[in-house]
Amino acid sequence: MENWNLTSDFILLGLFNHTGAHLFLFTLVLTTAFISLVGNALMLLLILLDPRLHRPMYFLLSQLSLMDMMLVSTTVPKIAADYLTGRNSISPVGCGLQIFFFLTLGGGECFLLAAMSYDRYVAICHPLRYPVLMSWPLCLRMILGSWLLGAVDGLMQAAATLTFSYCSSHEIDHFFCEAPSLVRLACADTSLFESVMYICCVLMLLVPISLILISYSLILATVLQMHSNEARKKAFATCSSHLSVVGLFFGAAIFTYMRPKSYRSANHDKIVSAFYTIFTPVLNPLIYSLRNSEVKGALRKCIYRCAALKHD
């Protein structure tokens, strides 16, 4: 096959065709993305405006909402533009940027969820030492570290992916530029890069999830020793919301990136990628708002304030 240079565009085959059923699914994706953006923006606004939420736990949550908003914005506008205009092309630069932002946000969210589990561990197991063990400087370092580790992974994979020579078949069987899907089109031997990419994925997924499991094992041991049923119930309610988010995000990511190559399927990859890039971000604000009395209180306060301004 002839080599294909990086001045030409890639073609994204996308998620949908123009049948009635796919039009319904496209509308569902747009509606979900809109709800996700509004829900996460509202979460950010509540944490910013309510002084009671100016604590490390909620600052970490605000970063999760910001990452989810950016993750949705990385993929959905392109999906919508391609479907509505029929132009499925994407430039190499655009493809590289999608890979960079997707991996930065996905990798950053992995480490941010680990930081959130440490916050819950300190709050439940060492409540009296919380201001010391979860100080603002430490919180800021964990957040910056999450963004930085994600950005390093994204930059490395985006740069390496675009250095390959691509063959005349330039159709990416996906709805956005994802490194594994793009590498399949390369003419060169990519086995070394794929091995390094696999190791990066293992580190970005297994290190945070190991820290999360350690934190929640220690939390569970502490909760089971509590004598107060009310304290035990509150601890379980707080942790179950976080574990729901962790399970959804890591489950989908591990299924996508850690399966053996022989078990991979383009259709399965697209469905699972749609789940954790479009549908998981809409669940995070719902899970945290419905299971958190302080967030619900801040929301009620905001609604009352808006209603009072409307009547003035």
Distance CA 65, CA 79 (A): 21
pLDDT above 70 for 172: yes
pLDDT above 60 for 4: no
Q: Where are the beta strands (DSSP E) in 13-129?
A: 89-90
Indicate the angle between helix axes 229-257 and 92-125, nearest 10 degrees.
160
Cβ(207)–Cβ(254) below 8 Å: no
β-pairing verdict for 3-4 and 166-167: antiparallel
- DSSP SS3 for 167: strand
pTM value surpassing 0.75: yes
Which pLDDT tens digit goes with each residue over 70-127? 999 999 999 999 988 888 889 888 999 999 999 999 999 999 999 999 998 999 899 9
Give the H/E segment covering residue 171. Answer: strand 171-172
Give pLDDT, residue 263.
60
Give pLDDT, residue 260.
67
Which structure tokens are listed for 16? 């949908």
Q: What is the mean pLDDT of residues 197-217?
A: 88
- DSSP SS3 for 90: strand
Q: What is the mean pLDDT of residues 293-301?
A: 82
Which pLDDT tens digit goes with each residue over 29-67? 999 999 999 999 999 999 998 888 999 999 999 999 999
Distance CA 64, CA 74 (A): 15
